[in-house]
Amino acid sequence: MPTKSLAATGNAQKFVKAINGHDTDGLTKLMSSDHVFVDSLGNTFPASAMRSGWQQYFAMVPDYWIKVDQIVSEENAVILLACVLRQRAHKRKNESRWVVVSRPFTA
C-alpha cells in the first residue's frame, strides 16, 4: 500500500478509535481547521462545531459505536464500510458508508 494510503488509513482508524471511545478531545485533535462533517441527512458542520456536536450525540446515544467491516483507500481518500452498533444489544442498527479524505497526520 502506498505511503499516502497508509497515512490516510491510519487517520481514519484513529477517528474510529476516538468515536468508539467517545473521546471528543481526541476527535477534535484529529480534525483540521477546514474539517467538514456531513451527517446522514446531508447537513454540514464545521470543525468548530464538532466538539459540542459529538458531546451532545454521545450523551443522546451513550452506547453508540461503529464496527468497520472493510477499508478501501487510494492516495488520501479512505472509504470505511461500517455498521452502527449498540453496545448493549451488539446488533447491527444500520449500514453506514463513511468517506474520509485525509491529510498526513503530524501529531
For 62, phi and psi rounded to 5 degrees? Answer: -70, -15
Report in angstroms the alpha-carbon separations of 26 from 2, 49, 58, 89, 94. 26, 15, 14, 26, 25
Total structural domains within the chain: 1
Question: Residue 29 sits in a domain of what CATH number?
Answer: 3.10.450.50
User: Would you call 83 helix, strand, or coil by DSSP?
Assistant: strand
Domain that holds residue 34: 3-101
How confident is the prediction along the chain (107 residues), in pLDDT tens digits per residue? 567 678 888 888 999 999 999 999 999 999 988 888 888 788 999 999 999 999 999 998 888 888 888 888 887 788 888 888 776 554 555 555 565 555 544 44
Quote the CA–CA distance of 90 and 59 in Å, as a whole number. 19
| Residue 94 counted as domain residue | yes
| Residue 106 counted as domain residue | no
| Residue 39 counted as domain residue | yes
| Residue 107 counted as domain residue | no
- Write out the H or E segment, with its range, that includes residue 46: strand 44-46
| Residue 81 counted as domain residue | yes
C-alpha cell at 96: 453506514
